[in-house]
Amino acid sequence: MSEKRMRIEALIASPPTAKCEAILALLEEVESLHPEVVVIDIYLAGEQPGRTPTKGYQDKGKFKRVPSVFVNGAMAAQAEVPRRESLLALVDSELAKSSAAWLE
């Protein structure tokens, strides 16, 4: 089993809005495409995260809009549902970067 090297974080409303539900469905798809390498952390607005967020997520402080999606600490979407193709391309790009770094 390989080590998980892709972290996706989502900030959603509680209870989830329609946009939040769409993001959750999209993230389930991403996780199903890369189950061995992707870990997904869901944070509820107004609550403390159960895990330490990435630096990129933390750097946004209280200026994050709900919903938001971060891939390896880079903002992928804010206040909107990311386009499926854009999110998948970003995930593939980040996986390629991390694979190249592991080969060095």
Is residue 99's pLDDT more than 80? no
Please give the pLDDT value at position 16. 97
Question: pTM surpassing 0.85?
Answer: yes
Q: Quick: pLDDT tens for 22-53.
A: 999 999 999 999 999 999 999 999 999 989 99
H/E element holding 37?
none
**Do residues 41 and 51 touch, judged by C-beta distance below 8 A?**
yes
Burial label, 63 (beta-carbon count in 10 A; 0-12, 13-18, 19+): exposed
**Which pLDDT score, from 0 to 100, does residue 50 have?**
87
pLDDT band with cut points at 50, 70 and 90 for residue 5: confident
Among residues of the chain, what percentage have pLDDT more than 90? 76
Give the CB-side neighbour count of residue 88, counting CA atoms within 13 A: 10
Q: Is residue 101's pLDDT more than 70? A: no
Backbone region of residue 50 per phi and psi (left: phi > 0; alpha: psi in -120 to 50; beta: other values): alpha
CB atoms within 10 A of CB 61: 7
pLDDT value at residue 18:
97
